[in-house]
Amino acid sequence: MPTNAYLGIDIGTSSVKTVIVSGDGEVLATGDSPGSVSIPAPGWSEQNPEDWWQSTITAVSAAVSQLESPNQIKAIGLSGQMHSLVALDAAQQVIRPAILWNDVRTSEQCEYIYDTVGAERLQEMCGNPALEGFTVTKLLWMREHEPENFARVKTIMLAKDYIRLKMTGEIATEPSDASGTLLFDVRRRGWSSEMCSLLGIDPWILPPLIESSGIAGTVTAEAASQLSLPAGTPVVGGGADNACAASGSGVVAPGTMLITVGTSGAVVAPTVEASVDPNMRIHAMAHAERDTWYLMGVVLSAGAALAWWRGAVADGSDTPNFDDLVNATAGMAPGSDGLTFLPYLTGERTPHADAAARGVFAGLNAAHTRGHMTRAVLEGVAFAIKDSVQLMRPLGAVPDSAVIVGGGARSATWRQVLADALGLPLKTVGPAEGAPLGAAMLAAVGVGAFSSVAEAGSRWLSTEGQTDPNPATADAYESAYQRYTSLYPALEEWFASTMSN
């Protein structure tokens, strides 16, 4: 008999990825379909939700074709990019292209929220600051700049929720994605009617909430024919990409931590209650696991900083290989001989939430080489991640180790820099499928294969390696970190004045 299997789908910005996992955690199949981002104006970032659907059809069909039978799939879970606004009319048709998480056109709307609601009430009601990335700022932008489109809005949702609508015909979302809208009471795990009232948002446009592992609907006959799936397959609520990535890495209980070093960077630390930073430098989000929350810090340029540096040092066609570039720094002393790098190439989110901040090399002297500058980039990203870890400790996140994922996790040299700078052992786990795997876990929990995401992780995941910090480097890294943390305050006013001119 073919084994039971669970399908996880992740609606990312650059691609839709799928994974099919057996009940005992074996990866049976994967699929991937790339996407593209439209930039209609500087700082804007949009995608057509219908393109997500076509990519989903391609990626799911590719994975299903690798199975003995599509009937092996017993449930489907969804993950997706956070914050991106999908606006639907009364006929459930998309009104305009989705405004994405990395779109920064809404600075004036953020100021409006602070003026209207106030930082204290915002902290009490939502537990998060008003940033350009959050969903409600995009809705307010529509109200001001596209009133004809805003008047047609009957439902708003997130990326993965649109795909579930296409699969099942049902409208819903769940707490982990709702946490990124700024219309959600993170402590209570429900929509904030007061926030809606203060901002003049009709609460009826918000989708009903279900749990991440709750069954939201089943695959329709029409969607089944497009996806090569059995009609009637259950589809669960799913989760935001960071929540699913944490779930797919076994990071669902307090005392654990996930560090992602991809294009951007993220730190996720689960908590048993909504632990809100009084200064809102760290995000408070509902986790995909029931009755669990997580703290999150975001570094806008992590792997992107190294990619920029690799391009900057390219000599015509002689672009250095990433591994060669990084490995050349392995024997260098911690602290890059006094050189410090701020990785704020496109502004920063944690802890400064400053769109005007920019990248900086500081402390250059005539003895510094390309290797020193590469090492400083690696350390700068590590210190940016450490900022989040340090802010989480007073909020109850005190891990004795962390799981590391993303492209940066594949570099032994960078893993060692991160472990030494953070003073934490860093583990890699397998299978390394990230957010799609977490979505598949939620699907398995939804149909009773496991009692919780934690149980699914204990059955499906294993530690593949561990990088321990070198105690001999602790003093040097602490000194370098102090240089790093002193640099932004010294430049903050200069950033603001330069970017305003």
In the structure encoding, which two tokens stand for residue 399, read together?
């891990």
Total Cβ atoms within 10 A of residue 386: 23
φ/ψ region of 290 (left if φ > 0, alpha if ψ in -120 to 50, else beta) reads beta
Q: Does 354 qualify as catalytic in the annotation?
A: no
Residue 177: pLDDT band by 50, 70, 90 thresholds?
very high
| The predicted structure's pLDDT at residue 183 | 98
Q: Which of 241, 277, 387, 420 is catalytic?
A: 241
Nearby residues of 474 by Cβ (< 8 Å), 6 or more positions away: 420, 423
What distance separates the 2 farthest-apart alpha carbons in the chain?
69
First vs last C-alpha separation in the chain: 68
User: Is the CATH number of domain 302-391+411-418+470-500 3.90.180.10?
Assistant: no
| Span(s) in the chain for CATH 3.30.420.40 | 5-249, 302-391+411-418+470-500
Total Cβ atoms within 10 A of residue 390: 15
Q: What is the mean pLDDT of the chain?
A: 94
* Domain 5-249 class, CATH top level: alpha beta
| The predicted structure's pLDDT at residue 185 | 96
**What is the percent of the chain with per-residue pLDDT over 90, rounded to a whole number?**
86
Average pLDDT over residues 347-352: 91
- pLDDT higher than 80, residue 315: no
What are 53-100's pLDDT values in tens digits?
999 999 999 999 999 999 999 999 999 999 999 999 999 999 999 999
Q: Are 245 and 435 in contact (CB under 8 A)?
A: yes
* pTM for this model (two decimals): 0.92
Q: Are 11 and 49 in contact (CB under 8 A)?
A: no
| The predicted structure's pLDDT at residue 320 | 77
Instruction: Print burial letters for 251-271: b (CB count within 10 Å at least 16), e (below 16).
Output: bbbbebbbbbbbbbbbbbbbb
| The predicted structure's pLDDT at residue 317 | 60
- pLDDT higher than 80, residue 499: no
Q: Are 300 and 349 in contact (CB under 8 A)?
A: yes
Which residue from 415, 418, 318, 300 is spatially nearest to 370, judged by alpha carbons? Answer: 318
Residue 322: pLDDT band by 50, 70, 90 thresholds?
confident
| The predicted structure's pLDDT at residue 83 | 94
- pLDDT higher than 70, residue 1: no
Residue 323: pLDDT band by 50, 70, 90 thresholds?
confident
| The predicted structure's pLDDT at residue 89 | 98
Residue 124: pLDDT band by 50, 70, 90 thresholds?
very high
- pLDDT higher than 90, residue 3: no
Asked which of 168-172, 258-262, 439-443, 495-499 is least confident by mean pLDDT, the reply is 495-499
- pLDDT higher than 70, residue 318: no
Instruction: Quote the CA–CA distance of 390 and 484 in Å, as a whole number.
Output: 14
The crossing angle, in degrees rounded to 10, of helices 370-392 and 303-312 is 170
In the structure encoding, which two tokens stand for residue 237, read together?
């609520």
What are 363-396's pLDDT values in tens digits?
999 999 999 999 999 999 999 999 999 999 999 8
Instruction: Quote the CA–CA distance of 314 and 309 in Å, as a whole number.
Output: 9
In the structure encoding, which two tokens stand for residue 288, read together?
């995909």
Lookup result for tokens 């980039």: 377
Lookup result for tokens 């900083």: 305
Say if strands 184-185 and 15-22 run parallel, antiparallel, or are unpaired.
unpaired
Average pLDDT over residues 126-143: 95
| The predicted structure's pLDDT at residue 391 | 96
> Is residue 463 helix, strand or coil?
strand
Q: Are 56 and 33 in contact (CB under 8 A)?
A: yes
